[in-house]
Amino acid sequence: MSKAILYDATLCIGCLQCEEGCAKQNKLRYDEGVAAEKKTSDHKFTYVAVKPNDKFMRRLCMHCVDPTCVSACPVGALKKTANGPVVYEEDRCMGCRYCMVACPFGIPKYEWSKALPGVRKCILCPDRKDTACAEACPTGATISGERDTLLAEAHKRLSENPSAYVNHIYGETEVGGTSVLQLSSIPFSEFGLPSNLGTKPLPYLTADVIHQIPRVATVGWAMLGGIWWITNRRNHVASNESDKTNEAKKEE
């Protein structure tokens, strides 16, 4: 069982309801200014790219079957859940931003403007049966369901109407497969999607690099981990002290 979405660009009308639905689900601001932004960011997890002649393509986290961002995270802040979504635990994050470097799609974004920044991206609505973007789509261009079922549906559309599509399901095999599957009538590369990723999962490359890291880098990791632990410990102690003070006031 693996949750996924299928986006069929030939059914998209560029209404941006998926963007607005995503923003509402994740409690993000969405107005005309945000709608005009054609990139993912720490406050916009998906957008609809537009090409001439009403050609559209959604961009968002691809939720790789074997995600490189997860393998690159030294503290387990990013996790691949058993049912598909790649989620983020802010309390674990130490701000190293290795996930941003590791992602082949350039998706994770850092909150540079915040005093206590984190990493932000689509998490594929893990607490919902249907994703917010699929629920908001009025034409069925985005649908959610089980990956195997959606993959079969994508193959069916290609075989029944081959002239309407590029003969490729993006996400079926890229980097070992992703939980976001896409169909299009024009090459995916025209929308900036990488076309040279291969079919092998990328975490094996991460492992090779980590094994070659010199000892000084290992010390750096330890220092970062220590800073992260101290910061979280300090917050924990401060919280306990605050609780004790509040209890003392109640007793008075």
Q: What is the pLDDT of residue 211?
A: 46
**221, part of any domain:** yes
**141, part of any domain:** yes
Residue of 98, 71, 139, 90 lying closest to 224 (CA atoms):
98
Which amino acid does the sequence have at 126?
Answer: P
**70, part of any domain:** yes
The verdict on 100 and 12 lying in the same domain is: yes
The verdict on 177 and 54 lying in the same domain is: yes
Q: pTM (2 decimals)?
A: 0.81
**178, part of any domain:** yes
The verdict on 130 and 242 lying in the same domain is: no
Measured from the Cβ of residue 97, the count of other Cβ atoms closer than 10 Å reads: 16
The verdict on 20 and 84 lying in the same domain is: yes
The verdict on 145 and 238 lying in the same domain is: no
The verdict on 223 and 153 lying in the same domain is: no
Residue-number span of the structural domain to which 230 is assigned: 213-251
Per-residue pLDDT of the chain (252 residues), as tens digits, is 699 999 999 999 999 999 999 999 999 999 999 999 999 999 999 999 999 999 999 999 999 999 999 999 999 999 999 999 999 999 999 999 999 999 999 999 999 999 889 999 999 999 999 999 999 999 999 999 999 999 999 999 999 999 999 999 999 999 999 999 999 999 999 999 999 988 888 775 555 544 444 444 444 555 555 555 555 555 554 555 555 555 555 555
The verdict on 170 and 228 lying in the same domain is: no
The verdict on 137 and 240 lying in the same domain is: no
The verdict on 65 and 173 lying in the same domain is: yes
CATH number at residue 75: 3.30.70.20
Quick one: 118 exposed, middle or buried, by C-beta within 10 A (0-12, 13-18, 19+)?
middle
Number of domains, the chain: 2
The verdict on 221 and 136 lying in the same domain is: no
The verdict on 46 and 131 lying in the same domain is: yes
**207, part of any domain:** no
Q: Which two tokens stand for residue 69?
A: 């961002």
Quick one: 68 exposed, middle or buried, by C-beta within 10 A (0-12, 13-18, 19+)?
buried
**7, part of any domain:** yes
The verdict on 38 and 131 lying in the same domain is: yes
**238, part of any domain:** yes
pLDDT 10s digits, 144-160: 999 999 999 999 999 99
